[in-house]
Structure 1
Amino acid sequence: MSILKRNQYLRSIELKREEIEDFSKYPFFLPAIINLKNLEFHPKVTFIVGENGSGKSTILEAIAVNYGFNPEGGTKNFNFSSRDTHSDLGHYIKLVKGLRKPKDGFFFRAESFYNFATNVEDLEKEDPGLLQSYGGRSLHGQSHGESFFSVFMNRFLGNGLYILDEPEAALSPSRQMSMISRIHELVEKDSQFIIATHSPIIMAYPDAIIYEIKDDIRQVQYQETENYIITKSFLNKTNAMIEVLIDQNMK
């Protein structure tokens, strides 16, 4: 095993299949999980991609919860909960960690970001100065995209494990490109990312592996992903694609 592999913060996960009583129950029947044994992570960036409902966010949530992060996002110090909806998958995976522990960490969830931002403001009232860690401005006082990027730019410090669930949700294409630069800056500061995304821009980051979920979960090349293929086809043949989509809707 290489030194780089041993030193990464999270090397892999293993599904404790022998402890699962019924694979017909949620979330164990999901394509990403039903045939899963183990999943190895890249020392720098790992992408998990797939259609809505395929299970990529469920896997990320399980990793984050098992690692000690709040299910709705934030650092390990956050413990707010607006609604207990996370799955039981975290109880059935084993994390295989490297020799080093991260000095920083964050679980970013686009779907619960509003609740996270509210909790930051509540904590600021109890502990004035906390907001400086997020750029010094209220996250609710910015546009959705600006507040996302403010967290990425100000709260992510390096030497960290960052688990991101659909970080592109509020970002423009240009901001998504800026996100690639920010990921690289943090990778150069000994950070590791595990990212679930639909964005063919963000997943273009080169020093990474991509797992795509269809009937199962498997490693693919960037140009093989459905996100890349569909986006490229649409941009290259926009008028023809629009006509097909409109014609289908008229039938």
Structure 2
Amino acid sequence: MEVNMNRSHYIRRLSLKREDVPSFERYPFHLPSIKKLTELEFHPNVTFIIGENGMGKSTLLEAIALSIGFNAEGGTLNFNFSTFDSHSELERFVRIAKGTVRPKDGFFLRAESFYNVASTIQKLDEEPGYGAPVIDSYGGVSLHEQSHGEAFFSTFNHRFRGDGIYILDEPEAALSPLRQLSMLTRIQELVTNRSQFIIATHSPIIMAYPSAKIIELSEDGLQEKKLEETNHFQIMKQFFDDKDRLLHHLFQE
């Protein structure tokens, strides 16, 4: 299934300015995925960045988001706040090639700092004379009064408007398997409405979105993979095909 393949990407590719890197022996440049990075081409619809913990998925995604103007802790392009300055310097050493069309909407969603985004929305709505409540764009119910998963899903359903670039860091962290399937439906709706996604995830359910590009980060660098070739899919398949055998081997070690 291909959607809108003839339209321009909002983001075409990322290049590492290797000649400017001060040292490949220090963080984050010592990470294998960064150390071996030259260029990364994005799919016009959906690109997944996957890999084991510590391979640099969130670091790379953060650099992409910051390079196009998002706040390090997430939110829309209009958000400008910081509760803790912890982002890496990678964004100063990457070059983003954009398409000819500019997005009308955008959101950077990080599981680890979504609470801070929700707090910022609440603070803005408490300020007198700010205008229409910001929370109205998120479904009208305080994100703090919902479960983590409900708040995530309210954002997907209400704040993501289409014609946009959406960068998501491990959105499955707060979503049940059923909600992850519902998320695929929402991604499809937004892609059909001229949107582009770049998603870091561990979820085989989410990365099953048809025709997406899957980039796996490992000790060998970056490699494009099919879903069935990924460690995430293979481990889950092995578990459900014969969980008793797998658990037996795990407990014998």
Structure 2 residue 251 is matched with structure 1 residue 246: yes
The residue that corresponds to 1:153 in the other structure is 157
What are the equivalent positions in structure 2 for 1:228-243 lying under 5 Å apart? 228-243=233-248
Shift, 1:31, TM fit: 1.4
1:73 and 1:116 in contact (8 A); partners too = yes
Q: Which residue of 2 aligns with 1:21?
A: 22
Shift >3 Å, 4+ stretches: 3-6
CA contact (8 A) 1:6 1:98 kept: no
| Offset, 1:246 | 2.2
CA contact (8 A) 1:5 1:98 kept: no
- What does residue 117 of structure 1 align with? 118
How many residue pairs align between the two structures? 246
Aligned equivalent of 1:188, options 192, 198, 203:
192
Task: Indicate whether 1:98 and 2:102 are aligned.
Answer: no
Deviation at 1:148, TM superposition (A): 0.6
Give the TM-score normalised by the residue count of structure 2: 0.95
Distance 2:73 2:103 in 1: 20
State the TM-score, normalizing by the size of structure 1. Answer: 0.96
Correspondence for 2:58: 57
Structure 1 residue 125 displacement after superposition: 1.2
| Amino acid in the other structure paired with 1:53 | G
Aligned to 1:89: 90
Shift of 1:244: 1.9
2:77 matches 1:76: yes
Stretches of structure 2 that go unaligned for 5 or more consecutive residues are: none
Matches within 5 A, 1:136-175: 136-175=140-179
RMSD: 1.2
Q: Tell me the alpha carbon deviations over residues 37-91 of structure 1, each in whole angstroms, 9 at most, x when there is no partner.
A: 0000001000000001100110000000010000000011111111000000000
Question: 1:210: which partner in 2?
Answer: 214
How far apart are the structure 2 equivalents of 1:106 and 1:178? 19
Structure 1: state its 5+ residue gaps.
none
Q: Distance in 2 between matches of 1:242 and 1:138?
A: 42
